């Protein structure tokens, strides 16, 4: 079955960077986009961007342009999200999600990781 | 950016009752709307994709309808485990992919 397993919780100081990983299994990693979505405490879901694991191409929400970098390592079927210049309002649970075929530019989010809590505090 | 507005914000119903959740888009999203269920401390779970298609393993009491700008998620006979926050999401026009603000469903 499809599984996305994310790295563990992080505590960072303002101004630092954080990198969250998402290891996938149960499907062909290069077939489907990987998206990143975050959820601040008690708030809704916010889409950050996607990476095409086949080409390495990315697309970011304007809000995060210049601060977020999505990468992938096809040899270990793992995607990563790095967010820099952290602020207190970046405190959130960060999710990876997959499901949309890259050949058809399908932006479905069928399968989700368990989430990674990133806390930004001085 | 396409804005999705969900109503009501909170819904409180009893087991066995029917729940109707609404999602309205600021412009057409054709049929490219999904519904997710999220329980506390868990990731969202896909319920419905492309407006009316149930995802794998989703019980038949969950159904979706609509197209264009107005969509509905119906839970035909509520179970206690249906207590959760429900989000709609569009993938018709991006970036960005957008979500509604959520409807909290409470089972009395």
A with B: how many residue pairs have Cβ under 8 Å apart?
A: 56
Residue B72 neighbours by CB distance under 10 Å: 16
Q: How far is CA A92 from CA A4, A84, B36, B104, in A?
A: 18, 14, 19, 20
When pLDDT is cut at 50, 70 and 90, the band that residue B17 belongs to is: very high
What confidence category does residue A85 fall into, taking pLDDT thresholds of 50, 70 and 90?
very high
Q: What is the pLDDT of residue A104?
A: 85
Nearest CA to CA, how far is A16 from chain B (Å)? Answer: 26
Residue B12 has a CB neighbour count (10 Å cut-off) of 13
Q: In what order do the strands lie in the sheet with B62-67?
A: B4-7, B19-25, B70-75, B62-67
A114 touches chain B (CB under 8 A): yes
DSSP assignments along chain A, one per residue = --EEEE---EEE-TT--EEEEEEEESS-GGGEEEEEEEE-TT---EEEEEE-TTT--EEE-GGGTTTEEEEEEGGGTEEEEEE-S--GGG-EEEEEEEEEETTTT---EEEE---EEEEE--
Question: Is the pLDDT score of B3 beyond 90?
Answer: yes
B34, B43, B97 ranked by CB distance to A95: nearest: B43
Distance CA A2, CA A98 (A): 9
Task: For residues A35 and A52, give the distance between their C-alpha atoms in angstroms, rounded to a whole number.
Answer: 9
CB-CB contact of B8 with B104 (8 Å): no
* pLDDT of res. A55: 95
Residue A107 is predicted with a pLDDT of 87
Go through A11-37 and write b for each residue having 16 or more CB atoms within 10 A of its CB, e for each that does not. Answer: ebeeeeebebbbbbeebebeebbbbbb
Select the residue from A48, A59, A108, A116 to test the B interface by mutation, using most B Cβ atoms within 10 A. A108
Segment B36-74, tens digit of pLDDT: 999 999 999 999 999 999 999 999 999 999 999 999 999
Q: Which residues of A touch B101 (CB under 8 A)?
A: 44
Percent of chain B scoring above 70 in pLDDT = 100
Q: Tell the residue number behind the tokens 């708030």, with chain if given.
A: A43
Residues of B with CB under 8 A from a CB of A: 34, 36, 42-46, 49, 55, 87, 89, 91, 94-102
| Spatial distance between the Cα atoms of A104 and A54, rounded to a whole number of angstroms | 13
DSSP state of B97: P
Instruction: Supply the pLDDT for residue A4.
Output: 98
Residue B63 half-sphere exposure toward CB, CA atoms < 13 A: 8
Task: Test B49 with A49 for CB contact under 8 angstroms.
Answer: no
Within 12-71 of A, beta carbons closer than 8 Å to B belong to 35, 44-47, 49, 59-63
Q: Does the structure show a pLDDT above 90 at A103?
A: no
Provide the pLDDT for residue A99: 86
Q: What angle do CA A111, A112, A113 make, to 5 degrees?
A: 135
- When CB atoms are compared, the residue of B36, B87, B91 closest to A107 is B91
Quote the pLDDT of residue A36.
98
| Cβ-based contacts of A110 with chain B (< 8 Å) | 46, 49, 55
CA distance B100 to chain A (A): 8
- Residue A105 is predicted with a pLDDT of 82
For B75-98, what is the mean pLDDT? 96
Instruction: Say how many CA atoms lie within 13 Å of B7 toward its Cβ.
Output: 4
């Amino acid at each position: 079955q499809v599984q996305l397993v994310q790295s563990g919780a992080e505590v960072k100081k303002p101004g630092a960077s954080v990198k969250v990983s998402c290891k996938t299994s149960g499907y062909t990693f290069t077939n489907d986009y990987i998206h990143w979505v975050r959820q601040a405490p008690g708030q809704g879901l916010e889409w950050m961007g996607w990476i095409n694991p086949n080409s390495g191409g990315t697309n970011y929400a304007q809000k995060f342009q210049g601060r977020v970098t999505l990468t992938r390592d096809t040899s270990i079927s793992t995607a990563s999200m790095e967010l820099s210049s952290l602020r207190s309002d970046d405190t959130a649970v960060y999710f990876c999600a997959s499901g949309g075929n890259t050949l058809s530019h399908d932006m479905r989010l069928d399968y989700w990781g368990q989430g990674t809590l990133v806390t930004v505090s001085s | 950016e396409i804005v999705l507005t969900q109503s009501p914000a909170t819904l409180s119903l009893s087991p066995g009752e029917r729940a109707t959740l609404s999602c309205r888009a600021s412009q057409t999203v054709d049929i490219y709307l999904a519904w997710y269920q999220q329980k506390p401390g868990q990731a969202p779970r896909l319920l419905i994709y492309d407006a009316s298609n149930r995802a794998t393993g989703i019980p038949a009491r969950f159904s979706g309808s609509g197209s264009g700008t107005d969509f509905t998620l119906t839970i035909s006979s509520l179970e206690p485990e249906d207590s959760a926050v429900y989000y709609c999401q569009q993938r018709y026009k991006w970036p960005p992919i957008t979500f509604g603000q959520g409807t909290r469903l409470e089972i009395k």
